[in-house]
Amino acid sequence: MERTVIALGMFDGVHLGHRALLMRAAKLAHAAGDAAIAFTFSNHPRELFSGSFEYLCTPRLKETLIGSLGVDGVDAVPFTGMLAAMPPEAFVNWIVKRYDGRISALVCGYDYRFGHDAAGTGGTLKTLAAAHGIRTEILPPVCYKAAPCSSTRVREALRAGDLDAANAMLDRPYAMTGRVVHNQAIGRTLGFPTANIEAQGQLLPKDGVYAAALLVGKKLYAAATNIGCNPTVGGARRTLETHVPGEAIELYGQEITVLLLKRLRGERRFDSREALSEQIGIDAAAAKKVFEEMEKSVYNTIKVW
């Protein structure tokens, strides 16, 4: 009967550290003729306790990215109060039972925590798993600029507007997916129609204008994307809007993905709508140029999605 190597982690964003862990689990499993499974939670533990959480990718993209690394399957279970209350030993027993005692190895990161109050560490896991005849590999950190990559660092970079750092740690452009909904249609009155995207549950980076790639189905378009409150026209809430230069495409109701390539400028209030319109034209041209320079690498990134 096939045995299983389990990669343990939240894997939000599937950054460089996650990638190393998942590829190691896949390599271990396949060398022994076993299956590699990523065990994760469908909701972040912080969401259970605080009621909300800003994710770095959608569940579907997370599963797709994990699968692209050679892992055979994703086991995403809800993080519940029952799991939160389990002491480390009970959690390991629960994992072993979940896979019918067919686990050949566990793989986790150096900072992995589990069990009630996150009392379990990698060392705890190794000891408890050994009692079941299961070996454990604890991977060292993967660093970016002399510090470990982490989902926290990616979030901090995005909130600070440091898209270059965030994308480097993710090893891909930061992507937000959502359905296009009707808004005030102000962009259309300025000569630059925009698609307003509801990216619910995902982190919106620092306000500003970004060069982006818009993924509609399997096709990519150059895009200028604005995140912010649109102060020139009296906007009252943060929105994610994107404009496709030189294209007339109907997007209302569709689910689309915006991949952020470069931050062009911060959000600011203009003295008039005419000045805003002029700046949008400049931004759109700059965004298209960035897209053309990066189009090939973006295609290479998404072809495994």
Residues 144 and 245 in one domain: no
Going by their DSSP bridges, the two strands 143-144 and 147-148 should be labelled as: antiparallel
Amino acid at 186: I
Averaging pLDDT over each range in 38-52, 97-111, 183-197, 227-241, which range is the top one? Answer: 97-111
Residues 127 and 227 in one domain: no
**Residue 157, domain member (yes or no):** no
Residues 185 and 121 in one domain: no
Residues 85 and 213 in one domain: no
pLDDT tens readout for residues 137-167: 999 999 999 999 999 999 999 999 999 999 9
Residues 196 and 293 in one domain: yes
**Residue 163, domain member (yes or no):** no
What is d(CA 293, CA 216) in angstroms, rounded to the nearest whole number? Answer: 20
The answer to whether 209 and 264 have CB atoms below 8 angstroms apart is: yes
pLDDT tens readout for residues 262-290: 999 998 888 777 888 888 899 999 999 99
**Residue 168, domain member (yes or no):** no
Element (H, E) at 219: strand 219-228
Average pLDDT, integer, range 182-197: 68
- Roughly how many angstroms between the first and final C-alpha of the chain, as a whole number? 31
Residue 187 pLDDT grade (very low, low, confident, very high; cuts 50, 70, 90) = low
pLDDT tens readout for residues 13-29: 999 999 999 999 999 99
Q: Which of 119-123, 230-234, 268-272 has the lowest mean pLDDT?
A: 230-234
Residue 190 pLDDT grade (very low, low, confident, very high; cuts 50, 70, 90) = low
Write down which residue in 148, 183, 208 finishes a domain.
Answer: 148
Residues 104 and 230 in one domain: no
The reported pLDDT for the residue numbered 232 is: 64
Q: What is the mean pLDDT of the chain?
A: 93
Residues 118 and 33 in one domain: yes
Full DSSP string of 266-295: -----SSHHHHHHHHHHHHHHHHHHHHHHH
**Residue 156, domain member (yes or no):** no
β-partners of residue 208 are 227
Residues 136 and 220 in one domain: no
Residues 8 and 142 in one domain: yes
Residues 115 and 80 in one domain: yes
Burial category of 39 from C-beta neighbours within 10 Å (exposed 0-12, middle 13-18, buried 19 and up): buried
Distance from the Cα of residue 110 to its chain's centroid = 21
Residues 137 and 78 in one domain: yes
Q: Domain count for the chain, please give it.
A: 2
Its domain, for residue 251, covers 174-302
**Residue 272, domain member (yes or no):** yes
pLDDT tens readout for residues 37-85: 999 999 999 999 888 899 999 999 999 999 999 999 999 999 999 999 9
What is d(CA 45, CA 298) in angstroms, rounded to the nearest whole number? Answer: 32
> Can you give the CATH number for the domain in which 110 is found?
3.40.50.620
pTM of the model: 0.93
**Residue 154, domain member (yes or no):** no
> Can you give the CATH number for the domain in which 197 is found?
2.40.30.30
Q: How many residues are given for the chain? A: 305
Full DSSP string of 118-175: G-B-HHHHHHHHHTTT-EEEEEPPPEETTEE--HHHHHHHHHTT-HHHHHHHHTS-EE
**Residue 112, domain member (yes or no):** yes
| Cβ contacts of 214 within 8 Å, gap of 6 or more | 195, 220, 221, 222, 223, 242, 244, 256, 257, 258, 259
Residues 134 and 192 in one domain: no
**Residue 276, domain member (yes or no):** yes
